[in-house]
Amino acid sequence: MIFTSNSNIFCQCSKIGGIFYSIESYNARKFDDSLCLDNPKNKIYEGSFNRLVLKSFDKTKKKYKYGEIFAYQKGNKLFVFQKQEKALDDYGFFQIIDTTGLIIYSRKESRYRGTSLRFYYSIEIGAKIKRLSIKNIKQDFDNDEFIKEIDAYVSSIENKNSDKRITAINIIQSSYKKYFR
């Protein structure tokens, strides 16, 4: 899911970076601020002190504190922000990886044993993002057949083999559509 700007300046740009201040601008597919990433000196990145930074070739930087924006796009990757509501809540930016049923997200997390890729879901864009686990699925869905059908795949989604991960996501999505759409 790549969004593009209506501005003529981006018609010639193949890789765009931009931010959406709100879910409304995201749904309208209209950047509130953007830049062309075809120029290697233009960058969009998560900086220190919980800031998202847009840096242009002329070295101008625009910094946004976490929570000031809803989402950002970096080329063909889209990230959505979630605030921390409770002490143990997951928060920060989550990369959207699939929207064909549930919204499936991933995020690299540093642990004492290295970095791992964790998976999350929400029922729709803008809804609370939760860790993809059977415990959370059971809380959100009162359908034993659905839960039974995806149980093995939810636990295997964090498998390092990307083919198995893609298969697991596809099965979860098709089961979701079968029971809830």
- In which domain, by residue range, is 153 found? 101-181
C-alpha 133 chain-centroid distance: 17
- The size of the chain, in residues, is 181
Regarding whether 123 and 78 lie in a shared domain, the answer is no
| Structure confidence by residue, pLDDT tens digits, 88-121 | 768 889 999 999 999 999 998 877 777 888 999 9
Between the alpha carbon of residue 153 and those of residues 78, 138, 158, 160, 166, the distances in Å are: 24, 14, 9, 13, 10
Residue 4 lies in a domain: yes
Q: Domain ends where: 27, 50, 82? A: 82
| Structure confidence by residue, pLDDT tens digits, 55-93 | 998 889 999 988 899 999 999 999 999 987 776 768 889
Regarding whether 105 and 78 lie in a shared domain, the answer is no
Regarding whether 52 and 117 lie in a shared domain, the answer is no
Q: What is the pTM of this model?
A: 0.85
Q: How many domains does the chain have?
A: 2
Residue 91 lies in a domain: no
**Are 105 and 97 a contacting pair, CB within 8 Å?**
yes
